[in-house]
Structure 1
Amino acid sequence: MKQLNLIYLNLMFNDIGPEGGELIAKVLHKNQTLKYLRMTGNKIENKGGMSFAAMLQINSSLEKLDLGDCDLGMQSVIAFATVLTRNQAIKAINLNRPILYGEQEESTVHIGRMLKENHCLVVLHMCKHDIKNSGIQQLCDALYLNSSLRYLDVSCNKITHDGMVYLADVLKSNTTLEVIDLSFNRIENAGANYLSETLTSHNRSLKALSVVSNNIEGEGLVALSQSMKTNLTFSHIYIWGNKFDEATCVAYSDLIQMGRLKPDNTDVEPFVVDGRVYLAEVSNGLKKHYYWTSTSGESYDHSSNAGFALVPVGQQP
């Protein structure tokens, strides 16, 4: 890798196991050119994960590391949290879908402690970490002190409306978070209302929010739409997979028609049948791996990719 002077290396979804992961991590001990590494879908497991964590104690050039769906164990997730309290280079890390056991949310506790100390990390993906309300409380406690994180992905967890009390409160004072992915949790109307109140009256830094498939009904969805009318920073919202009623369809149709919500900045579009407004799904959304640039240098449509457009990872706020 050093001889090739690679900046970006995509190894996703190969058949790399723990030993292969260990070898790649060892090569990176001395490599000073590689900045982006995607290992997505390679089952390097806890052994490989521990090797990568050890590598981050030595390597100071790698900025973006994707270890999503790599079957990381609890030990290696905790090791990453420990190392990132000191590593000043990593700007984006994907730790999606580790193999965790137990009900104590130990990994979330350690990552929360890391966020209190780390002031370089811009993007954190924690999809499928079995995060519950106590876990989101740990993360929110850290976000009162953290001034660098701009993209937080806690999708596909077990967060309910009670957890939104903590998130809504921290968003009253946190001025750096720009993108939050809450997709596939269960915040319901109460959680949506907590967020709406904060976004309407307090927060002016959040730009994008995904609440896809959160069992939210019309009341909560309309409340979020209303917050967009007063909060002009809040520009991207993704709501598909919830329970739309007529008021929801009219509210989001109105936002789009008046130009407040751009069609590329949401995952729904209105249509009319027999004088009644409905919403259809479109393919826009928060792409979890938005921060990876291609080796061929192909351009991305930033307007349809909220994370990439809103949070350029190579820059500090």
Structure 2
Amino acid sequence: MKFDTTPHNAFEQAIGILANDLKVNNTLTQLYLGGNEISHRGGEALAEALEVNNTLTQLFLGNNKISDRGGEALAKALRVNNTLTQLYLMYNQISDRGGEALAEALKVNNSLTQLYLGGNEISDRGGEALAEALKVNNTLTKLDLGGNKISYKGCEALTQALRVNNTLTQLYLMYN
């Protein structure tokens, strides 16, 4: 079952209600909430739901305003969630703080295979944290970091990580 609000302007209050329902829902596998101006509060509510939901495999939150606070909450959820395989967080005003939190989650998460962080504000510090995570993560196959602020230093750290990571097959670094 899919639930798609992408073409609509979902209000923050509706996200809270939806997140509460996700805690008990056992059929929804894909949730598309792109372009709804969801703030960190909505990200936090969805993260709380992810901590207990065991059916959602894809969560699309692209083009919102999740920010670092929402990114940190989602990272906390990824530490315990074992069903989500794809997380789309492109264009969400996430910087190094959120990137570092997500990197820490990747060190222990064993279900996420695709993480999309393109078009955010992640610089070398976040890139280096994600590189450290790639050294121990054995499930991620795709990582999109395109359109961030990662320079040579962060790219070098990611290159070093690729020497030991044997699962990542796609790494996007364009427009940095």
Which bracket does the TM-score occupy, shorter chain normalised?
over 0.9
Are 1:121 and 2:84 counterparts?
yes
Which whole-Å CA distance do the structure 2 matches of 1:100 and 1:37 have between them? 19
Are 1:204 and 2:170 counterparts?
no
Alignment map for 1:126-137 (pairs within 5 Å): 126-137=89-100
The sequence identity of aligned pairs, in percent, is 27
Q: Which runs of 5+ in 1 are unaligned?
A: 1-34, 215-317
Match of 1:79 among 35, 38, 45: 45
Which whole-Å CA distance do the structure 2 matches of 1:84 and 1:120 have between them? 9
After superposition, give the CA deviation of every residue in 1:280-313 in whole Å (9 maximum; x if it has no partner).
Answer: xxxxxxxxxxxxxxxxxxxxxxxxxxxxxxxxxx
Show the counterpart of 1:43.
9
Show the counterpart of 2:128.
165
Which whole-Å CA distance do the structure 2 matches of 1:72 and 1:161 have between them? 26
Check conservation: 2:65, 2:93, Cα contact below 8 A: no
- Report runs of 4+ in structure 1 exceeding 3 Å deviation: none
TM-score when normalising by structure 2: 0.94
Q: Which amino acid aligns with 1:148?
A: S
Are 1:65 and 2:31 counterparts?
yes
Quote how far apart the aligned CAs of 1:75 are: 2.0
Show the counterpart of 2:151.
188
After superposition, give the CA deviation of every residue in 1:85-115 in whole Å (9 maximum; x if it has no partner).
Answer: 00000000011232457xxx21111111101
RMSD over aligned CA atoms reads 1.4
Check conservation: 2:113, 2:139, Cα contact below 8 A: yes
Check conservation: 2:43, 2:71, Cα contact below 8 A: no
Check conservation: 1:74, 1:98, Cα contact below 8 A: no
Check conservation: 1:157, 1:185, Cα contact below 8 A: yes
Are 1:89 and 2:55 counterparts?
yes
SS in 2 for 1:171: helix
Which whole-Å CA distance do the structure 2 matches of 1:198 and 1:99 have between them? 30
Are 1:178 and 2:144 counterparts?
no
SS in 2 for 1:71: coil
Q: Which has the higher contact order (CA 8 A, sep 6+)?
A: 2
Match of 1:55 among 21, 33, 46: 21
Q: Which amino acid aligns with 1:95?
A: L
Which whole-Å CA distance do the structure 1 matches of 2:86 and 2:66 have between them? 22
Are 1:107 and 2:73 counterparts?
no
The 3 A distance-change label for structure 1 pair 140 and 46 is same
Bigger Rg, structure 1 or 2? 1
Check conservation: 1:46, 1:73, Cα contact below 8 A: yes
Quote how far apart the aligned CAs of 1:161 are: 1.5
The 3 A distance-change label for structure 1 pair 80 and 100 is closer
After superposition, give the CA deviation of every residue in 1:177-214 in whole Å (9 maximum; x if it has no partner).
Answer: 00011111011222211111221x20110011111201
TM-score when normalising by structure 1: 0.53
Check conservation: 1:60, 1:88, Cα contact below 8 A: yes
Check conservation: 2:96, 2:122, Cα contact below 8 A: yes
SS in 1 for 2:78: helix
Instruction: Count residues in correspondence.
Output: 176
Check conservation: 2:125, 2:154, Cα contact below 8 A: yes
Quote how far apart the aligned CAs of 1:127 are: 1.3
Which whole-Å CA distance do the structure 2 matches of 1:155 and 1:196 have between them? 18
Q: Which amino acid aligns with 1:207?
A: T
Show the counterpart of 1:142.
105
